[in-house]
Structure 1
């Protein structure tokens, strides 16, 4: 059995879908209540591969909300993720994906040092961030989306915003090795990490956000949007492909132009329907088939019986592992979302 640990996008979102989750008593509660709410298993479903294999999974709602980080409720956020992991393990789930902010919180606050959660000793090989599959899917969206728009990657400039993050660095490695991209622009806040990535790749131009975006034919956005930053679509190349790999995915509400095409990055579509309700809650266009690629990684690991933390640790994503999970993804009937 596989598991998915997720969370809702905001307090308002959580209140609005509490009924659908089966907890109407949560609907009118404020942030203090959500800080104390325990994780819950709110969905149980089956996924069938195009090979004919069927597996079962459970969705764990962590009850974490991004406002907890904004309002200095860090201890509550940490507790949410650890408790959700403990709940998944207690339910004998073989491999569980940490979706959304769950993996970020785990890494940023070194939760590997908090192995004991009450009477549960966490076995970290039961968990994956799902970031390897996400990086693979984003790269395939770059390749396939560019071809759809007539952008020749061998003559193109690609800007990666969030290049030093776990997903961003994996994307850079793939683009460097597999696409023959003419120019790679590296954007991130930490200049020391940027220089290390540049040295590793042996290429790439370190640039600031405002100067880099107008030069890019393709923009891969795998970072949080800095406060106060707005992107003027008139300054971007035409056509321009933007892969929105953030969470929540909202660049399409901020950038509107007929020649700027925005893909929801890191989203896959399965070939067969899935009997779950969770993707309706996060407003997927086709909720019975579409999902976050990080969640799909747990599904693929269960299909293949790779019960291990396939994606784990910061900046450990290799092109070889991306190709490995990518082969499994195609085998079981997943494809990158290409609708804009």
Structure 2
């Protein structure tokens, strides 16, 4: 059995669908209450592969909300993640994906130092961030959509914002390998880590975000958006492809220009309907088929019987693992979202 650990977009969203999630008493509660709310299994899932194989899973609502980070309630945020992991393990779920902010919190706060949660000793081999499949899907989105816009990837300038993160570094490795002539622009907040990654990669140039944006034919955004920041689409190249791989995704509503195409990055569409309700509550266009690539990674690991932390840690995604999870993705009927 596979598991998915996720969270809702914000407090207002959480309150609005509390009844549908099965805990109506939460609907009128404020952030203080949600900081204390325990994780709950709120959905039973059934997925069919195009091979005919059928697997079952469970969705664990962590009750984490992004406001916990913006209001410096870091202890509550970290507690949410490890409690959700312990909850999944307690129900003997074989492999569970950490979705949305939960994997970021786990890595940034070094939660691998915490193993014992009440009466559960966490077995990290039962969990995956799903980042390898996300990186693979983003690279396929670049490769499939850019040429349709008239962008020649052999000669393009591609900016990766969040280049030193796990997903960003994987995307950069793929670009450097697949298109060695590409002008790769590396952007990240931690400049020391960025310089070290550039040396490891052996290519790319480090530029400030404001300098790099007008130069890029393709922008891969796999970092959180700085508060108050806005991108002026008039100052971008036309055509320009933007892969919005952040969460929550908001570049599509912020950037409106006929010469700029914004794509929801790291999203896949399954060939067959998935029996679940959670994606409908997240307001997806085709909720029975569209999902986060990180969630799909847990499904793929269950389909293949790879019960291991396939994606784990920062800057650990290899080209070999991207190819491996990519082949499994195609085999079982997942494809990158291209619209």
TM-score, normalised to structure 1, is 0.99
Q: Aligned with 1:228: secondary structure?
A: coil
- Which residue number in structure 2 is paired with residue 219 of structure 1? 219
Q: Matches of 1:101 and 1:131 in 2, distance apart?
A: 12
Indicate yes or no: 2:289 matched with 1:264: no
Q: Deviations over 1:111-143 (max 9, x none)?
A: 111100000000000000000000000010011
Distance 1:31 1:181, change over 3 A: farther
CA drift of 1:180 comes to 3.7
Counting only pairs closer than 5 Å after superposition, residues 271-286 of structure 1 correspond to structure 2 as: 271-286=271-286
Contact 2:175 2:182 in 1 (8 A): no
Greater CA drift, 53-62 or 149-158: 149-158
- Which residue number in structure 1 is paired with residue 118 of structure 2? 118
Q: Aligned with 1:168: secondary structure?
A: helix
- Which residue number in structure 2 is paired with residue 139 of structure 1? 139
Q: Deviations over 1:61-104 (max 9, x none)?
A: 00000111111211111111111001100111000000001011
- Which residue number in structure 2 is paired with residue 83 of structure 1? 83
- Which residue number in structure 2 is paired with residue 161 of structure 1? 161
- Name structure 2 gaps, 5 residues minimum: none
Contact 2:125 2:308 in 1 (8 A): yes
Counting only pairs closer than 5 Å after superposition, residues 123-272 of structure 1 correspond to structure 2 as: 123-272=123-272
Contact 1:158 1:181 in 2 (8 A): no
**Greater than 4 Å deviation, 4+ residue runs:** none
- Which residue number in structure 1 is paired with residue 70 of structure 2? 70
Q: Matches of 1:160 and 1:331 in 2, distance apart?
A: 29
Contact 1:157 1:181 in 2 (8 A): no
- Which residue number in structure 2 is paired with residue 24 of structure 1? 24
Q: Matches of 2:32 and 2:189 in 1, distance apart?
A: 32
Contact 1:156 1:216 in 2 (8 A): yes
* CA RMSD in angstroms, aligned pairs only: 0.8
Contact 1:175 1:181 in 2 (8 A): no
CA drift of 1:181 comes to 4.6
Q: Matches of 1:177 and 1:165 in 2, distance apart?
A: 18
- Name structure 1 gaps, 5 residues minimum: none
Q: Aligned with 2:241: secondary structure?
A: strand
Q: Aligned with 1:214: secondary structure?
A: helix
Q: Matches of 2:45 and 2:182 in 1, distance apart?
A: 44
State how many pairs are aligned.
Answer: 339
Distance 1:147 1:187, change over 3 A: same
Q: Matches of 1:282 and 1:174 in 2, distance apart?
A: 30
CA drift of 1:228 comes to 2.2
Q: Matches of 2:181 and 2:140 in 1, distance apart?
A: 14
Contact 1:95 1:301 in 2 (8 A): yes
Q: Matches of 2:100 and 2:209 in 1, distance apart?
A: 24
Q: Matches of 2:243 and 2:75 in 1, distance apart?
A: 32
Contact 1:160 1:220 in 2 (8 A): yes
CA drift of 1:161 comes to 0.4
Q: Matches of 1:7 and 1:325 in 2, distance apart?
A: 24
